[in-house]
């Protein structure tokens, strides 16, 4: 009995010891799991923290690229050196690449479908606020009449529907109703809410509207959007139209433009380098010929305009003959007239849609303007290429083969030779992780100090 009791006690002790060992083992395993989970969470948090810090560094690098370009643009604007049409753009291109404490930035844009260093001149495309129905209907991809009318209705101030357009009644009847702008569009993407507009026509291959050829925009059908993988960015209408350019409110002299309808003879003599007789004739034309526009001085020689003004005033035959003896405007004087004068009060010019810059636009864009065919557009580009500093004024287009005063008068109000608004795409990169952040912005130096508009970060 005694031996049996000892054996039972020994077995119970062994079981208790085995259970204790198992319990200890389970505690160790559970502890290891907990430690592993804590370590994994810590690693994940650390990785997330490192990624967040890398993203912040990359974002600041992208911002540095934008700020460097903005400073150069503001400096060029302050210096107002109009002898070189490319001065501001060249200066900004010089700082298109840079380094900042373990990060880098790269500012790139598309020119002729290819990527180049530097920002894009907003005035290198046609401002939709100046685009006539004829210009809109000529755009590629093909724009139909109903879309052109709907765009006109979207921007005009009234609620009268054009023949094939759409006004407030149409938009209020949608499932998610809204009202048309009845004013200038604020972004090219806004076109997509206009009746009948296909977003693919607006964006082409540039689906994020950053003006750069991204990998997914050059891979065929591998990812959205559809593209032809030819290494060239097709921007659709966004590559032909803009909403950002604004009218220049200062002339080459650096002073506010002269409001021609109220300009004084002395001011004209000083700004345009004209004689007193020429200045008096210009003032007489503005006072006597109703509805005369700035471009009429391009279309019609000054002596003939002076005679027409004299007849309108009821002058004698001798006075009319005398008016016809005034010397015509020289090419230089005509150029200054177009650059130094305006039909609008100068203080509102920065709210007026900008003209197309003939020094930075592509031949394809020029071809959409009235009175310019493909041959004349190529001639303009060829003449521009022969000028290292670009066109100094629009009147220099009269030197282009095939350009007449009549043709120039038809398009002079659509053209300019300098810009004060640029679009920029800056990519910041954290060199330690390779993480990139892109900043897309509009730099506006129409008033100083220059400002950033429509900033997007992705």
Residue 69 lies in a domain: no
Say if 401 falls within a structural domain: no
Asked, for residue 332, whether it belongs to a domain, the answer is yes
pLDDT at 10 over 90: no
Provide the sign of the torsion angle of the four alpha carbons 386, 82, 417, 339, taken in this order. negative
Domain-embedded: residue 316: yes
At 215, give phi and psi (nearest 5°). Answer: -55, -40
Alpha helices in 180-316 (DSSP H): 199-203, 265-272, 276-288, 296-299, 302-312
Give 363's Cβ-side CA count (13 Å radius).
13
Q: Which of 22-36, 193-207, 289-303, 307-321 has the lowest mean pLDDT?
A: 22-36
Are the CB atoms for 258 and 271 separated by under 8 Å? yes
Per residue in 55-108, pLDDT tens?
Answer: 999 999 999 999 999 999 999 999 988 889 999 999 999 999 999 889 999 999
Q: Is residue 48 scored above 60 in pLDDT? A: no
pLDDT for 35 beyond 60: no
Average pLDDT over residues 132-140: 91
What total number of domains does the chain contain?
A: 1
Q: Quick one: average pLDDT of 292-307?
A: 96
Residue 399 lies in a domain: no
Residue 141: per-residue pLDDT: 86
Residue 419, Cβ neighbours under 10 Å: how many?
26
DSSP class of residue 246?
B
The C-alpha atoms of residue 369 and residue 384 are separated, in whole angstroms, by 17
* pLDDT above 70 for 22: no
Q: Domain limits at 314?
A: 258-351
Rounded CA-CA distance 248/117 in Å is 25
pLDDT surpassing 60 at residue 244 = yes
Question: Is 328 within a domain?
Answer: yes
pLDDT mean over 431-440: 95
Q: Are 268 and 281 in contact (CB under 8 A)?
A: no
Average pLDDT value for the chain: 90
- Does 157 map to a domain? no
- What is the pLDDT at residue 6? 46
Average pLDDT over residues 167-187: 95
Q: Would you call 176 helix, strand, or coil by DSSP?
A: coil
How far, in whole angstroms, is CA 290 from its chain's centroid? 36
Domain-located, residue 335: yes
What one-character-per-residue DSSP string does 55-95 give?
HHHHHHHHHHHHHHHHHHHHHHHHHT-TT-TTHHHHHHHTT
DSSP codes, 24-64: HHHHHHHHHHHHHHHHHHHHHHHHHHHHHHHHHHHHHHHHH
User: What percent of the chain is modeled with pLDDT above 90?
Assistant: 76
Instruction: Quote the pLDDT of residue 81.
Output: 87
* Distance separating alpha carbons of residues 145 and 134, to the nearest angstrom: 10
């Amino acid at each position: 009995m005694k031996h049996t009791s000892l054996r039972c006690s020994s077995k119970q002790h062994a079981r208790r010891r085995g259970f204790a060992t198992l319990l200890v083992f389970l505690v160790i395993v559970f502890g290891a799991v907990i430690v592993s989970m804590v370590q994994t969470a810590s690693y994940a948090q650390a990785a997330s923290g490192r990624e967040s810090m890398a993203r912040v560094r990359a974002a600041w690098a992208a911002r540095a690229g934008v700020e460097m370009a903005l400073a150069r643009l503001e400096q060029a604007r302050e210096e107002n050196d109009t002898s070189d049409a490319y001065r501001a753009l060249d200066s900004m291109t010089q700082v298109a690449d840079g380094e900042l404490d373990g990060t880098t930035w790269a500012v790139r844009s598309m020119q002729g479908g290819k990527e180049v260093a530097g920002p894009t001149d907003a005035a290198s495309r046609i401002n939709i606020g100046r685009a006539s129905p004829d210009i809109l209907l000529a755009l590629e991809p093909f724009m139909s009449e109903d879309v052109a009318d709907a765009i006109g209705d979207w921007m005009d101030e009234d609620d009268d529907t054009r023949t094939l357009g759409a006004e407030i009644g149409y938009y209020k009847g949608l499932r998610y109703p809204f009202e048309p702008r009845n004013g200038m569009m604020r972004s090219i993407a806004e076109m997509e809410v206009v009746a009948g507009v296909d977003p693919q026509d607006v964006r082409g291959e540039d689906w994020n509207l950053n003006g750069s050829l991204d990998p997914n925009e050059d891979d065929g059908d591998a990812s959205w959007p559809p593209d032809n993988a030819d290494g060239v960015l097709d921007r659709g209408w966004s590559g032909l139209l803009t909403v950002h350019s604004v009218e220049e409110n200062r002339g080459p002299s650096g002073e506010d433009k002269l409001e021609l309808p109220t300009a004084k003879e002395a001011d004209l003599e000083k700004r345009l380098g004209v004689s007193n007789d020429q200045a008096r004739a210009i003032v007489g034309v503005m006072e006597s010929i109703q509805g005369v526009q700035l471009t009429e001085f391009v279309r019609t020689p000054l002596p003939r305009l002076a005679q027409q003004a004299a007849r309108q005033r009821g002058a004698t035959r001798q006075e009319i003959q005398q008016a016809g003896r005034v010397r015509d405007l020289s090419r230089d004087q005509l150029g200054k007239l177009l650059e130094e004068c305006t039909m609008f009060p100068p203080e509102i010019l920065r709210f007026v849609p900008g003209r197309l810059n003939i020094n930075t636009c592509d031949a394809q864009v020029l071809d959409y303007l009235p009175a310019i065919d493909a041959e004349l557009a190529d001639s303009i580009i060829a003449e521009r290429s022969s000028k290292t500093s670009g066109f100094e004024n629009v009147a220099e287009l009269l030197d282009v083969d095939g350009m007449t005063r009549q043709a120039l008068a038809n398009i002079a109000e659509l053209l300019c030779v300098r810009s004060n608004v640029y679009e920029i795409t800056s990519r910041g990169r954290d060199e330690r992780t390779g993480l990139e952040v892109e900043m897309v912005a509009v730099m506006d130096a129409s008033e100083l100090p220059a400002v950033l508009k429509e900033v997007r970060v992705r």
